[in-house]
Amino acid sequence: MNEREIVRDLAKQYAEAAFSEGTKAMAENWGRLNALDAAARPPIIIDQLPWHEFAGYEDLKCVTADPFLRGIENYFRSELFRFRRFGADLVPAPCYPLGKVYDDTGYGVSTVNQDESDHVGAQTHLFEDQLPDEASLSKLKKRIITAHPEETARRKEAVEEVIGDILEVRPTGTVIWAAVWDRITFWKGAESCLYAVIDEPEFVHAMMKRFLEIEMDAVDQLEAQNLLAAGPGVRCHCVETYVDEDRFRAIDQSHIRAADCWIAGAAQIFSEISPAMHDEFEIEYMKPLYDRFGWVNYGCCEPLFQKIDIIRKMKTVRSISASPWTKVDRQAEAMGGDYVMLRKPNPAYLRSGYPDVDAVKKEIRGTLAACRRSGTPVAFVLKDLTTVGSRAEGLGEWVKLVQAEIENA
């Protein structure tokens, strides 16, 4: 079998999975869940994996030498690996998603690490403050986004020549991760951010006003050049975006608007600040941006159980993160049936590669009970996996544990 035939064979395997009855049922269940049907079966997703730990698995090893074919091969091998080994409710896209080609000049500010000579090899970093005062905000520039449709078309044609008779090759835009405070943290440093909201509120207000202007303008450019992504097969911050609503089914792929899209965002650095300050320095500024979008997936690692009231100010929020550090009973009660809870199980329970069975069962049972009492739709999203002891099988075992708890609830 030559290299082209290897890639075509993988594409056929992928297409078989993507168009199976089981996949169709999973997509329909996600649609019900995202339409706030509390009776939908809680789906399970695993994402943000330590892929480097799986390098020894034969089904992940690419064998093509041609760089172009190798990129396609890697996509299919990675997706099939996840789907077959622990996919749970991962829905394979009904196409080969080809990223649209475009340039983005960025914000005019970059991350600068502090001297790290005393902790070489560390996985965490300290940052030099690039935005120390109001005068420094002049560094922030509007992003210039330039689409290159001719290059996108050329790449599409090249991929179609290999697999076009097996699977649709669909040019795909971007799903926005609108966590402005995540970017600011990399440009200022965590301590500087937290001191600023206490000691320099007027500076922070000026900074957030500038960021909102930049982000709103960027969305205008992405809309105008059809560079947003929406519809079947698009994921937003690890989660499937199927919605059982007419407006989702009516999306025009030739001109995708912000109103057709999901957007994700968070303010993780505000994990421990008060709801009032979170509202003042995040929600009030980001609300106009989020409200432009059809559906919002809000939150990440920060506990939000005390902040549901301020999140309610954003009119299109559909799902809210419930991190391992949340008080799940309080969050479920506050959310009720108005949002999907994206419960983030603790990845530490898999750090050895073998699930901590008792801890996993306790966590899942507690979440299911809290959501059942409050009528809250829920999905389980295991993510931020920095290690699983190089043992992918443990992820499949974790999925089976969660599935059993859901079935027995």
d(CA 373, CA 228): 38
Q: 3-state SS of 270-306?
A: HCCCCHHHHHHHHHHHHHHHHCCCCEEEECCCCCCCC
Looking at 107-183, which runs of residues are DSSP E strands?
145-147, 169-172
Measured in whole angstroms, the distance separating CA 325 from the mean position of its chain's CA atoms is: 19
| CB-based burial label for 158 (10 Å; 0-12, 13-18, 19+) | middle
pLDDT of residue 114: 86
pLDDT of residue 365: 98
Looking at 22-66, which runs of residues are DSSP E strands?
44-46
Query: Which backbone phi and psi does 111 adopt, to 5 degrees?
Result: -80, 135
> pTM for this structure?
0.95
| CB-based burial label for 361 (10 Å; 0-12, 13-18, 19+) | middle
Residue 396 burial (CB count, 10 A): 17
User: 């975006």: which residue's tokens?
Assistant: 241
Q: Which of 305, 395, 376, 409 is nearest to 88 (CA)?
A: 395
Q: Which of 32, 31, 33, 36 is nearest to 337 (CA)?
A: 36
**Ordered mean pLDDT values, 10 residues apiece, the chain (409 residues):** 95 98 97 96 96 96 96 98 92 97 97 79 82 96 98 98 98 97 96 96 98 98 98 96 97 96 97 96 98 98 97 98 97 98 98 97 98 98 96 97 95
Structural Rg of the chain based on CA atoms: 22
d(CA 109, CA 137): 10
CATH of domain 3-115+123-408: 3.20.20.210
In the chain, where the domains are located: 3-115+123-408
Query: Which backbone phi and psi does 16 adopt, to 5 degrees?
Result: -60, -40
Q: Is 198 left (phi over 0), alpha (psi -120 to 50) or beta?
A: alpha
Tokens of 73: 């091969």
Cα distances (angstroms) measured from residue 87 to each of 7, 15, 18, 39:
21, 15, 12, 22
pLDDT of residue 122: 64
